[in-house]
Amino acid sequence: MTVPLALLGLLEREPSHGYDLKRDYDTFFGRGRPLPFGQVYSTLGRLSRDGKVTGQSEPGDGPERKRYAITPLGRQEVATWLAEPVAAEPYLQTVLFTKVVLALMLGRDAAGYLDAQRATHMRRMRELAEVKRGGSLTDALLADHAMFHLEADLRWIDVTQARLGALAETVRAS
């Protein structure tokens, strides 16, 4: 859901062509997952249909180009979106918790799973630390965001590991 709003936000900064919008999106938000051109134009088409952007054709020698600009309605949507906090989603927690509980339920090695998960998380933490060392400020801040989430998972893994015995009793008793 963030692609249309990110494109609207970029258009609030300045009117733009689809090609330039894609380039800006990839630069700021793409992070190895560039936005397909098809998605850019289909999104702009929907935003235009909903009255959030306008597209002005520009004459030229080559194929017709449209310059897109945000409308007051689009501007309002960006303002509302930016003011709303994102739901505090538990991210991976559900998956990790399910795996631990199922492992205990089935008499499998839950501690081993947590160790393996911890090692995987730490490996990713190291990769992100490397990104921070060699990257730009935007790379570093995005890496930070990921690292703080991984860190939260790691703390949960530690706490769960320390309480695995009690959790096993609870799971087996119910």
Partner 1 sequence: MIIEAREVSRSYGSTPALREANLSVAAGEVLAVMGPSGSGKSTLLHCLAGIFTPDSGEVWFDGRRLDTLDDGRRSELRRTAFGFVFQFGQLVPELTAADNVMLPLLLGRTRRKHAERRAAEWLERLELGDLGGRRTGELSGGQAQRVAIARALVTRPRVVFADEPTGALDSLTGEHVMDLLVGLAREEGATVIVVTHDARVAACADREVMVRDGRVCDPYVTGAVR
Residue type, 74: G
Q: How many CB atoms lie within 10 A of CB 84?
A: 8
Q: Among 10, 11, 40, 128, indicate the residue that binds partner 1 (CB under 8 A).
A: 128
DSSP state of 34: P
The three-state secondary structure class of 90 is coil
User: 36 is written with which tokens?
Assistant: 């397909």
Q: Is 154 among the residues that bind partner 1 (CB under 8 A)? A: yes
Q: Is 109 among the residues that bind partner 1 (CB under 8 A)? A: yes
Q: Is 162 among the residues that bind partner 1 (CB under 8 A)? A: yes
Q: Is 126 among the residues that bind partner 1 (CB under 8 A)? A: yes
Q: Is 115 among the residues that bind partner 1 (CB under 8 A)? A: yes
CB-wise, 50 or 109, nearer to partner 1? 109
Q: Is 105 among the residues that bind partner 1 (CB under 8 A)? A: no
* Dist CA 113 CA 163 (whole Å): 14
Strands (E), 49-159: 53-58, 65-70
Binding site for partner 1 (CB under 8 A): 109, 111-113, 115-116, 118-119, 121-122, 125-126, 128-129, 133, 147, 150-151, 154-155, 158, 162
